Amino acid sequence: MHKRSLVLIAVTVAALSAAPASAGAALVFSEIMYDLPGNDTDREWVEVVNCGPDAIAIATGSGSGSWRFNDGANHILNDPVQGSTTLNQNNVLILTADAPTFLAEHPGVPGTVMDTVMNLKNTSSTLQLIDGGAVVATTAYDSGMGAKGNGRSLERADPCTNPTAPWQEGSTDGGTPGVVAAVAPPPPTPPPPEPASPTPPPPNSSNPQPPPKPLPRVALSEFLPDPVGDDAKGEWIEIMNLENQEADISGLMLDDSTAGGVYTFPDKTMIAPSGYMLVPRAVSKIALTNTGDEVKLMWPSGEFIEVVTFGKAPEGAAYAKEAGGSWHWTYQPTPAATNVFAEKQIAPKTQPPPAVPPPPQPPPDTESEYEGRTETLLPATLSLPPPPIAKSQPTLASPSPERAGQTAVANPDETTPNPTSSATTSQLLAATLPGQPANIPPWLLGVGILVGGAIVGGFVSRFLIRAG
């Protein structure tokens, strides 16, 4: 082989090995300035760091393979006004609503600075960095985490070592753009003093440390955005444990796309193996929007486990996940149970009175025997003489008032589920099918719910209606 060919091969290999990576799987959001004192216009910014060993190339502009920043809508990235489009390991990218304004407020900041359209909500939002359609970095924040209008930013301590570390308010006014790990971890607790004469461990003994708690495998499974009646009392969100062992969801968070805060599951919140956790609106304070909303399940760090988006909610229908993972509306909500998909069925509000069968009529052109005489029955009605008075006729007892009106009465031995209800017995009977509980949706019988962080299992007694 010629020497010239060997040189060309060596140059080609070196160029390929030095090419930056095209995917940003190692990118992590490390700082967010979402709510500044006074006017936020052109002053908001976010910081991203490359925690991986490979260089990452960022494609700017509006091309089909270029990158996008998403704060609820996709925005293109402009060419950097400072730095390079290639991020090496531990390099920082700062995305800002207006680069000149940012550099004027933060002179001498290190890292790459790029312009983009930015409108960070002061309540809560989800942020994404997208490479040609693939999400390479994502996070979520909420004003309850801190840095609300006080001039400080949300920061994540040592994001490259712990990319799921929770957001916390920084300690520096104006934030620390370009400087990673600005939030120092809390000082370690000093160990207790050793005793004067420590007892040596027995030979061949070991003190194994408990393994770290495994992350639970849970998912959203069903929610009811627009129940029939009062939404504040009827809305709920359901979470399913995907494993055959108990799942600890302490610290996990629920949220929607509107302002109102994030619900965090309290300590020692457990879901039974392959079981469900029902979270009513009265507990979570999350009010789902009937015209369309999002339901988000998140790790304690704010990273997403699952986000489900729905459109206008039909009244009384739940949005539920099928076995294949797709979501559909169903008019048979199944809180804390396997999902069932049913179309809307409208039951009559009242039960019609039983039809009284007409008296039997003899067929036409037949003969009937009457006191020894034979009469031919024609299609027209015949007036026959009454039978002799001498023949005694049995006297029918008058029906009792209860049997005559078929008055519905409640069994006093049964428990009334709603003793304060003002509905009359006839109203309960009119709204109840025979053999079914009155005014109690069947799916509420035997359902346990989460109340103030505790799972309360309660069974609603059936209120039976019977006639006579």
pLDDT at 375: 44
Q: How many distinct helices (H) and strands (E) make up the chain?
A: 6, 29
Most trustworthy range by pLDDT among 207-216, 333-342, 408-417: 333-342
For residue 160, what pLDDT band results from cuts at 50, 70 and 90?
Answer: confident
Residues of the chain with CATH 2.60.40.1260: 218-330
CA distance 310 to 365: 69
Written as six digits, the tokens of 307 are 């986000």
User: Strand 293-298 and strand 304-310: pairing?
Assistant: antiparallel
The answer as to CATH 2.60.40.1260 being correct for domain 218-330 is yes
User: Which tens digit of pLDDT belongs to each residue from 279-318?
Assistant: 999 999 999 999 999 999 999 988 899 999 999 999 999 9
Nearest Cα to Cα of residue 303 among 139, 158, 136: 139
Three-state DSSP at 369 gives strand
Three-state DSSP at 4 gives helix
51 contacts 27 by C-beta, under 8 angstroms: yes
pLDDT above 60: residue 111: yes
Nearest Cα to Cα of residue 24 among 58, 62, 73, 72: 58
235 contacts 281 by C-beta, under 8 angstroms: yes
Buried b (16+ CB within 10 A) or exposed e, 129-140: bbbeeeebbbbb
Side-by-side strand order, sheet with 134-142: 74-76, 67-70, 124-131, 134-142
- What is the torsion angle, in degrees rounded to the nearest 10, for the CA atoms of residue 173, residue 177, residue 178 and residue 184? 50
Lowest model confidence (mean pLDDT) among 120-129, 215-224, 269-278, 395-404: 395-404
